[in-house]
């Protein structure tokens, strides 16, 4: 039952092979059994069983959707009404969200069963899930390795089959990199495709929620539910949502793939490079042609991101002041003491580092030198992608320079940690959609192929991933002990 996809489970629910209550109980038991991975911050057992009961009634009535009765989980960055929503921070350890994020609401409306809230880097700042107040998450492929971040709890839970599928968010790679490290399929949609309402903000001009699942078909089913215009999010784009499932059968004959030479230079592990090349070869067999493209500004992506993202985060996180939300220090002497101690005691080290960097970059005198310059670089990066995507249909490359690294290996060296996002960050700066698709293993650890498409080409990306998954089986491998 655990290894089934959404479509297979939907069939089982309809044929009466099992009920949603039975399915939900089985997943809840499995979450307890594998508690040591630390994937869940909150398990909503009682609520899940109520939702499963309601789903069974809806299934019996015959008005169910594909996700009705399917046990899913939410990254703990999405507000869920009446349920603790922490964003991985001590700051929100006592925060019960008073409303649902649009994404959570959409899963509810589809009749999905929420098993709980998934662990993540604090305020989504990190690449390893080690900045979480709730502790590191373990990678089910090697419990000494990180699952990636910031959606590490999501990736590990889906890989270990502790949820059928789950949500993630991606500001600089946080869907794609953990998906790659855990051997699952993840999609970061075009900026504006999925509502950010009720998704706790990190860097608002970059943040985007998306699906993390076993395969492209499940990701398509999830995105169908998640995508769409939302008047509660001013950056949500009012474009029709295509039928993602209907697009999965298209041939790839004549597909033009571009490989940016900057993606394959120094710093990329040679075994990962060979794995990506093998995947690209598979696409040649499916009828694609491959050419080299150049993205000269790619090397500026990390420096630009680490000005823009901290700048936005320093503004977004100013709302956590000990007054309105979350943690408040004890016995404040005065207002300044209340602010400084509440923030000082409740934010972790990485969050503080980013607030300091961002405040500095936005301060009078430095604003032009750092923030404005970074915004100009952002434009150049977008232009590079625009040019490349006028020559080819999609861009392919690695998701990360290596497979999952060890817990504790990079946490003391922020620069090295930041470099692990070298292939993902530029895509957020440009606002483009991109996927991570399981493409093989290096020394037993999963490798992700990145596929980057044009704005709102999620349907195309999903089909390109799906066609590959028809001729390869990397996405069906399961870590030992979690079969
Ligand atoms: N690792 C990147 C960061 O720490 C990206 C995080 C994300 O996408 N949320 O900012």
Instruction: Please write the tens of the pLDDT for every residue from 168-181.
Output: 999 999 999 999 99
The mean pLDDT of 211-217, rounded to a whole number, is 98
pLDDT band per the 50, 70, 90 thresholds, residue 10:
very high
Task: Give residue 1's pLDDT.
Answer: 84
**Is residue 210 included in any domain, yes or no?**
yes
Ligand 1 touching residue 131 (CB < 6 A): no
Under a CB-based contact definition with an 8 Å cutoff, are residues 183 and 141 in contact? yes
Protein residue with least CA distance to atom 10, ligand 1: 125
Ligand 1 touching residue 24 (CB < 6 A): no
Atom of ligand 1 nearest to the CA of 174: 8
176-204 residue pLDDT tens:
999 999 999 999 999 999 999 999 999 99
**Is residue 456 included in any domain, yes or no?**
no
pLDDT over 70, % of the chain: 100
Ligand 1 touching residue 124 (CB < 6 A): yes
**Is residue 182 included in any domain, yes or no?**
yes
441-456 residue pLDDT tens:
999 999 999 999 999 9
**Is residue 238 included in any domain, yes or no?**
yes
Ligand 1 touching residue 170 (CB < 6 A): yes
**Is residue 323 included in any domain, yes or no?**
no
252-283 residue pLDDT tens:
999 999 999 999 998 999 999 999 999 999 99
Q: How far is the CA of 424 from the centre of ligand 1 (A)?
A: 9
Task: Give residue 266's pLDDT.
Answer: 87
The mean pLDDT of 223-237, rounded to a whole number, is 98
The mean pLDDT of 46-50, rounded to a whole number, is 98
Given a cut of 90, is residue 246 above it in pLDDT? yes
290-316 residue pLDDT tens:
999 999 999 999 999 999 999 999 999
Under a CB-based contact definition with an 8 Å cutoff, are residues 297 and 381 in contact? yes
pLDDT over 90, % of the chain: 97
Q: How far is the CA of 166 from the centre of ligand 1 (A)?
A: 18
**CATH code for position 232:** 3.90.1300.10
The mean pLDDT of 27-47, rounded to a whole number, is 98
Q: How far is the CA of 255 from the centre of ligand 1 (A)?
A: 31
| Average of per-residue pLDDT values in the chain | 97
**Is residue 67 included in any domain, yes or no?**
yes
Mutate to test the pocket of ligand 1, among 118, 127, 167 (most ligand atoms within 8 A of CB): 127
**Is residue 69 included in any domain, yes or no?**
yes
The mean pLDDT of 419-442, rounded to a whole number, is 97
Domain count, the chain: 1
Task: Give residue 315's pLDDT.
Answer: 97
Q: Which residues carry out catalysis? A: 75, 150, 174
Task: Give residue 325's pLDDT.
Answer: 87
Please work out, in degrees rounded to the nearest 5, the angle formed at the alpha carbon of residue 336 by the alpha carbons of 330 and 337: 30
The mean pLDDT of 209-221, rounded to a whole number, is 98
Q: How far is the CA of 174 from the centre of ligand 1 (A)?
A: 5
Task: Give residue 335's pLDDT.
Answer: 97
Find the domain containing 76 and state its range.
6-255
């Amino acid at each position: 039952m655990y290894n089934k996809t959404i479509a297979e489970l939907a069939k089982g629910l309809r044929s009466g092979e099992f009920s949603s209550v039975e399915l939900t109980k089985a997943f809840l038991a499995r979450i307890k059994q594998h508690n040591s991975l630390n994937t869940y911050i909150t398990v909503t057992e009682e609520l899940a069983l109520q939702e499963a009961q309601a789903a069974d009634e809806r299934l019996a009535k015959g008005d169910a959707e594909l996700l009705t009765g399917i046990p899913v989980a939410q990254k703990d960055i999405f507000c869920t009404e009446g349920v603790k929503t922490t964003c991985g921070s001590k700051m929100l350890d006592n925060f019960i969200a008073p409303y649902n994020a649009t994404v959570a609401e959409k899963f509810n409306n589809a009749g999905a069963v929420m098993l709980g809230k998934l662990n993540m880097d604090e305020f989504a700042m990190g690449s390893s899930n080690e900045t979480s107040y709730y502790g590191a998450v373990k990678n089910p492929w090697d419990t000494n390795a990180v699952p990636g971040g910031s959606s590490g709890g999501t990736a590990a839970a889906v890989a270990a089959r502790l949820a059928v599928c789950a949500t993630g968010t991606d500001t600089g790679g946080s869907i794609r990199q953990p998906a790659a490290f855990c051997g699952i399929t993840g999609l970061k949609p075009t900026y504006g495709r999925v509502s950010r309402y009720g998704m706790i903000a990190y860097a608002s001009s970059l943040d985007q929620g998306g699906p993390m699942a076993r395969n492209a078909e499940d990701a398509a089913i999830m995105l169908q539910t998640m995508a769409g215009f939302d008047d509660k999010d001013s950056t949500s784009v009012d474009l029709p949502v295509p039928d993602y499932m209907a697009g999965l059968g298209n041939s790839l004959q004549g597909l033009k793939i571009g490989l940016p030479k900057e993606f394959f230079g120094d710093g990329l592990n040679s075994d990962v490079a060979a794995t990506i090349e093998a995947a690209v070869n598979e696409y040649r067999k499916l009828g694609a042609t491959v050419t080299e493209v150049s993205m000269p500004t790619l090397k500026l992506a990390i420096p630009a991101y680490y000005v823009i993202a901290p700048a936005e985060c320093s503004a977004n996180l100013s709302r956590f002041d000990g007054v309105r939300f979350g943690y408040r220090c004890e016995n404040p002497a005065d207002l300044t003491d209340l602010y400084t101690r509440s923030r000082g005691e409740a934010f972790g080290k990485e969050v503080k580092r980013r607030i300091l960097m961002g405040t500095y970059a936005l301060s009078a005198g430095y604003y032009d030198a750092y923030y404005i310059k970074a915004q100009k670089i952002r434009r150049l990066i977008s232009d590079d992608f625009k040019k490349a995507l006028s020559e080819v249909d999609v861009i392919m490359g690695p998701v990360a320079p290596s497979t999952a690294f060890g817990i504790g290996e990079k946490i003391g060296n922020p620069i090295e940690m930041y470099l692990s996002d070298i292939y993902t960050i530029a895509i957020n700066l440009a606002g483009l959609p991109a996927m991570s698709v399981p493409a093989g293993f290096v020394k037993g650890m999963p490798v992700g192929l990145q596929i980057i498409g044009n704005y709102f080409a999620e349907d195309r990306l999903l089909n390109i991933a799906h066609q590959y998954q028809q001729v390869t089986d990397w996405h069906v491998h399961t870590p030992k002990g979690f079969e």
